[in-house]
Amino acid sequence: MTFLRTLSVIALLLAASALHAIGQEGDSKTIHDGVFTEAQAEQGAKLWEGICGECHMDEEFVGENYMSSWTNVPIAEMFDLISVTMPEDNPGSLADAEYSAIIAHMLHLNGLPAGEAELPAVYEDLQKILIQGPFQ
């Protein structure tokens, strides 16, 4: 019994260090690394005003209060939540690229820097981008 327990502890430790190694495999980023473009955020702003603005105010999703609830969560989770549940009166009605543009707009509103490449609209790629403070 004790021997088996020791074995399973070793197995768990090995699994944990393997996972850790995957986590460090280079290409993960945070929202501070210029993960969307200006043009994309502008496109998102128009969609936001036309669709989301019917029920939401910008301020709801700006700053520490809202954003810190997402600390260390991959942006894929935010994409998933919004694309599955919003707009509340017609969930999932936008194209994936439109949801990405809207999230780019939300990042822009939060004062995060634009970059060279668009925020992807593919879940697996969005999993490599972590939401982290500081937030404005």
What is d(CA 44, CA 101) in angstroms, rounded to the nearest whole number?
A: 4
Could you tell me the smallest distance in angstroms from the CB atom of residue 99 to ligand HEC? Answer: 7
CB of 47 to ligand HEC, least distance (A): 7
Chain residues that interact with ligand HEC, rule: CB under 6 A: 51-52, 54-56, 61, 81-82, 86-89, 102
Residue 85 backbone dihedrals phi, psi, to 5 degrees: -110, -15
Q: What's the min distance (Å) between Cβ of 73 and ligand HEC?
A: 11
Q: Which is nearer to ligand HEC, 37 or 99 (CB)?
A: 99
> What CA–CA distance (Å, rounded) separates 18 from 116?
32
DSSP code of residue 132: -
CB 83 within 8 A of CB 119: no
Beta bridge partner(s), residue 30:
130
54 or 64: whose CB is closer to ligand HEC? 54
> Please, which residue, 12 or 111, has the CB nearer to ligand HEC?
111
